[in-house]
Amino acid sequence: MNAAHRLAILATSLLAACAPAAGTKEASFPSSSSGSYSAASMPAPSTPGVPAREQVSAGIVVRPDLLCLPFAIHSADADADRALANAQALAAELTQKLKALSPTGTTRMRGIAVSPSTIQQTKSKDEAPAFALTADGVFEVALGETDFWTRTKLVAAFVSLSKREHDAHKDQLVKVSFEQPNMRVTDPEAFRARLTKQWVERAKAFAEAAQSATTPLALVDCAAPGEIAQRLISNEEVGLTLSVSCRLDARK
């Protein structure tokens, strides 16, 4: 194996370690407990303290512009059409209550599944519901220029409503469950050019630093970039990452 080949292999491994990267901030950011709303997983400290923060890797960090409250409605009935109607009615009721908290929000239904039911309403098997239906959706609120405390107040209101609605329906044949509220970027593709440009600039800078006068390096075997992944860091931050696959080799 000649020196140029060894240098190309070393450069390839180092380049992979630095990708992906982009944006105006460095690649590691502290997380905030506001990114998770599960009280059960966070025991209360005996004395007040600063929450532990994990390191989050991302290309760039941007402000979220959408608050989402995912939910699922579970309806059981002897008649499939009635199970569907009951689920639709509860979805409309939830939307009305959520809009009372955030009038600009909208409900977007995402999927539905119907299957034979194993739930028994009474001890008589003849009276057991024949069908179980699950419909899931999400209530979405555009955040606009709202500040940290306004966003947090809305999250707290959603959590409170979620618990009330879950408890109110837990012993009925039409139930509802919720995921934790989360914040997202509506259109991460709007940041693709920015992410790509930053990655190319860093890759070129690395190649220039790693190459020698006699062995110039170039990016080769580049695959089309993948989807832009996003990860919630806090109520004010979402990390965006673009996956890029290339390797450095001696320029021919």
Structural domain boundaries, residue 154: 65-184
Same domain, 82 and 152: yes
Same domain, 93 and 141: yes
Task: Specify the pairing of strand 174-178 against strand 66-77.
Answer: antiparallel
Domain boundary among 162, 184, 206: 184
Q: How many residues does the chain have?
A: 252
pTM summary value: 0.69
Same domain, 179 and 200: no
H or E element: which one contains 159? helix 148-169
Domain assignment present for 54: no
Query: What's the confidence (pLDDT) of residue 46?
Result: 62
Same domain, 222 and 135: no
Query: For residues 8 and 212, is the Cβ–Cβ distance under 8 A?
Result: no
CA 194, CA 108: separation in Å to the nearest integer? 30
DSSP 237: E
Same domain, 180 and 192: no
Domain boundary among 184, 209, 224: 184
What total number of domains does the chain contain?
2
Same domain, 20 and 73: no
Domain assignment present for 26: yes
Same domain, 126 and 141: yes
Q: What is the CATH number of the domain that holds 112?
A: 3.30.70
DSSP 191: G
- Per-residue tens of pLDDT for the chain, all 252 residues: 444 444 444 444 434 333 333 333 433 323 333 443 334 444 555 667 877 776 777 889 999 999 999 999 999 999 999 999 999 999 999 999 999 999 999 999 999 998 887 655 444 555 667 889 999 999 999 999 899 999 999 999 999 999 999 999 999 999 999 999 999 999 999 999 999 898 888 888 888 887 787 788 877 788 888 899 999 988 899 999 998 888 777 777
Domain assignment present for 244: no
H or E element: which one contains 77? strand 66-77
Query: What's the confidence (pLDDT) of residue 22?
Result: 39
Domain assignment present for 246: no
Domain assignment present for 164: yes
Query: For residues 181 and 38, is the Cβ–Cβ distance under 8 A?
Result: no
